[in-house]
Amino acid sequence: MLVDRIDALRAAVVKTRERYPFTIDAVVVLPDHIHAVWTLPPGDADFSLRWRLIKSRFAQAFGIMAQTPPGSGRDTGAVIHYL
């Protein structure tokens, strides 16, 4: 559950923000997913890069490898998604 691993999630967000800044306007962490509202720097709209880095860093903290079925374009192990 995400809520049981909040320290690892927080660390993944902090590390990502060091290189790719964004402001967290609102966030809700639920047991199996997260919702967030961010503001990115002017001229930067790359939300997906930030989510990918957060997900990867979070998974690495537990030795988890994200698996994507060939051709699906979907990450089957995703616990973080955006609207």
Question: What's the distance, CA 65 to chain centroid?
Answer: 14
> Binning pLDDT at 50, 70 and 90, where does residue 2 land?
confident
Rounded to a whole number of angstroms, the CA Rg of the chain reads 13
Report pLDDT digits (tens) over 20-79: 999 999 999 998 889 999 999 999 999 999 999 999 999 888 776 544 444 544 444 444
3-state secondary structure of 15: helix
pLDDT of residue 63: 74
Residue 72 phi/psi, 5° resolution?
-85, -30
Cβ atoms of 22 and 57 within 8 Å: the answer is: no
Q: Where are the domains of the chain?
A: 2-60
Residue 30 phi/psi, 5° resolution?
-105, 170
